[in-house]
Amino acid sequence: MLLHEDLTYKIIGAAMEVHRRLGPGFLESVYEEAFSIELRVSGLNFEAQKELRIRYRDGLLVKTFKANYVVESKVIVELKAVKSLSEVDEAQLINYLKVSGLKVGLLFNFGESSLKYLRRVLEKDQ
């Protein structure tokens, strides 16, 4: 069984519904707004534009990250609306997982003719 399998299934379903209704071609901000609606319809609790603080040595850096979503305090979700996902996009998701202490992340791309997504699980030693 996958970590947070039922939850990630619901999140993926919400993203699929957004892509089915809107298709490709919109700005990321449009997909974010629609995705928030779908998460609410699905009954999921989430924080949008969640600020993530970065620990370094014994303190916190001034620089922060903003994750598009943290769903049910368990899954980081990043949305893109690009021609195709890149290694940089995936690295961003991994960094957000490291900083947040969460283990599961989903990266969606609404910019292609069919919804593309990656599911990543951060191992303890990463």
**What is the rounded CA–CA span in Å between residue 46 and residue 121?**
19
Domain enclosing residue 51, as ranges? 5-121
Largest CA distance in the chain: 47
- Asked whether residue 106 is domain-assigned, the answer is yes
State the pLDDT at residue 2.
81
- Asked whether residue 86 is domain-assigned, the answer is yes
State the pLDDT at residue 123.
82
Q: CA triplet 44, 23, 36: central angle to 5 degrees? A: 20
User: What global pTM score does this model have?
Assistant: 0.93
Residues belonging to the chain: 126
- Asked whether residue 126 is domain-assigned, the answer is no
Q: What is the pLDDT along the chain (126 residues), one digit of tens a residue?
A: 788 999 999 999 999 999 999 999 999 999 999 999 999 999 999 999 999 999 999 999 999 999 999 999 999 999 999 999 999 999 999 999 999 999 999 999 999 999 999 999 988 655
124 CB contacts (<8 Å, ≥6 apart)? none
- Asked whether residue 59 is domain-assigned, the answer is yes
Number of domains composing the chain:
1
Task: Classify strands 116-121 and 75-80 as parallel, antiparallel or unpaired.
Answer: unpaired
CATH number of the structural domain spanning residue 100: 3.90.320.10
